[in-house]
Amino acid sequence: MVTKKTIKNNISVLLALLVFAPLSVQAVSIEDELKTMLKGHPKLKSAQSFGQSAAWDIERATDNYFPVFSINGESGPDKYTSDTTTFGQERKLDHTKVTYELRQNLFRGFRDEAAVSASRAEKKIADFLEDKITQDLILQGVSVYIDGLRVKQLDEIIDKKVGVANQLLGIRKRAKDSGAGTDVDVLEASLAMQKAYDERLVSEAERRAVEIRYAQLFNGNSLPEVMESVSLPAALQHKTVEQALQVALKNNPELAVARMRMEVARNEKKNSAGDYYPTLDLVGRRDYDRNLEGSEGKSLQKSVLLEMSWSFNLANQTGAAVSSAAEKISAAQFEYDSILKDVEQSVRLAHERYKNLSDRKALANQTLEIASNVLDSRNAQRKAGKVDQTLVIGAQARLLSAKHAAITTRFETLKSGFELAFATGVLTPAKLGISIK
């Protein structure tokens, strides 16, 4: 029979479950964190502003191809004296002059072409620098996120190591008290305990360092309680070092910037050589004059002219400017060669590190499997009464050490894969499937 008291009790239980039931925590992915970081990071904002400035410079340089309209005028009273006037007598007239001019440049010694080409190269430099900053921030973000995953998993392993060491110490102490053990056995167990505590202190310090880096990079966010797993996208993987070098040659933003600096230097030389050529303009002009130079009346003159000017410097100013620009081209070429060597070295080192860590990861997994089999065998022997508990604890400790090594090498291998992608210049939002618009 359902009574009011039963209903009341059921409602109380339901409310208690609603209030005290654990809330599900939303996992925070690396993609979400990177999106937030990249949208508001000051380094990236600064690079984007430089890019916008360079875009305006292109428009300014391109505008030189368009005609220029100008108005010049003057107005005011003039006083005149001449031989036909009485001595001391002056003649006063209000004078006005207005000139309207429309000037279209036809040739300026290739300076306009050089200016437009140089401004476009500068815009590309700004874009490549933005790309480099973006990739650097992504690498920092991915690295600290992976470190967060690693320290979280290692915390559990370290706690278990401390527990196993403490369990062994207890067994050794009881054996000594019963006369079956010695002081040395206790000291050895105490030494293992101290080592486990030291590992915990190291792990706690590393975790705090990761938390500081995480908060600084991801706008003050704390290390998420639930983090999603991270994998290296197939588009970022390179099977051979030769393949990685080819990708870097095409995509590395530092190399791209160096190439564009050579382009800027070449256009500077072209601009300097423009002084060797004349300037040719097509000019339409309308002149209006009233009371010009003491003559009363109005005049209107219209003309369309082809104007040319050609300046000759009697020293070697133009030649020196061209030679200076040529040296800048050489300097830019040498700088490119230097950066090319640095990038090649970075790619080779990153690929070697990724390959070595991949081998270590495979070895660590094999070691983990062996340690797991050893523990299973020791547990079976213990159940059969063939070995004592200390051998089982030793197997547990070795399994935990194998797990520690496997976790460390797994995440270090993952990080090195992203580092190789950064060295080749393909660690971009597009490759990661991230939109930051």
Please compute the mean of the pLDDT values over residues 292-319 and round it to a whole number: 84
Residues 6+ apart with CB under 8 A from 98: 71, 72, 73, 287, 288
Q: In this structure, is residue 388 part of a structural domain?
A: yes
pLDDT band at 311 (very low <50, low <70, confident <90, very high): confident
Check which CATH number belongs to the domain holding 115 and give it.
Answer: 1.20.1600.10
Q: In this structure, is residue 32 part of a structural domain?
A: yes
Whether the predicted pLDDT of 211 surpasses 50: yes
Pair 359, 422: CB distance under 8 Å? no
Number of domains in the chain: 1
Please compute the mean of the pLDDT values over residues 384-397 and round it to a whole number: 93
In angstroms, rounded to a whole number, what is the distance separating the alpha carbons of residues 211 and 150? 12
For residue 72, give both structure tokens.
Answer: 């010049």
Whether the predicted pLDDT of 344 surpasses 80: yes
Q: In this structure, is residue 333 part of a structural domain?
A: yes
Whether the predicted pLDDT of 295 surpasses 90: no
Q: How far is CA 131 from CA 16, 238, 336, 437, in A?
A: 53, 21, 18, 14
In angstroms, rounded to a whole number, what is the distance separating the alpha carbons of residues 15 and 417? 50
Q: In this structure, is residue 21 part of a structural domain?
A: no
The stretches of 178-316 forming alpha helices (DSSP H) are: 183-217, 241-251, 253-273
DSSP 164: H
Q: What is the largest CA-CA distance in the chain?
A: 145
pLDDT band at 4 (very low <50, low <70, confident <90, very high): low
Q: In this structure, is residue 4 part of a structural domain?
A: no
Q: In this structure, is residue 7 part of a structural domain?
A: no
Q: What percent of the chain has pLDDT over 70?
A: 91
Pair 278, 310: CB distance under 8 Å? yes
pLDDT of residue 24: 57
Amino acid sitting at position 218: F
Please compute the mean of the pLDDT values over residues 152-173 and round it to a whole number: 94
The per-residue pLDDT for range 74-129, each reduced to its tens digit, is 888 877 666 655 445 667 778 888 999 999 999 988 999 999 999 999 999 999 99
Whether the predicted pLDDT of 167 surpasses 50: yes
26 or 285, which is more confident: 285
Looking at every residue in the chain, the average pLDDT score rounds to 89
Pair 28, 228: CB distance under 8 Å? yes
Please compute the mean of the pLDDT values over residues 60-64 and round it to a whole number: 93
- Provide the domain limits for residue 104: 26-83+96-427
Instruction: Report which of 435, 33, 411, 412 is spatially closest to residue 215, judged by C-alpha positions.
Output: 33
pLDDT band at 20 (very low <50, low <70, confident <90, very high): very low
Pair 226, 26: CB distance under 8 Å? yes
Q: In this structure, is residue 90 part of a structural domain?
A: no
pLDDT of residue 87: 47
Whether the predicted pLDDT of 392 surpasses 60: yes
Pair 347, 423: CB distance under 8 Å? yes
The per-residue pLDDT for range 171-204, each reduced to its tens digit, is 999 999 998 889 999 999 999 999 999 999 999 9
Q: In this structure, is residue 15 part of a structural domain?
A: no
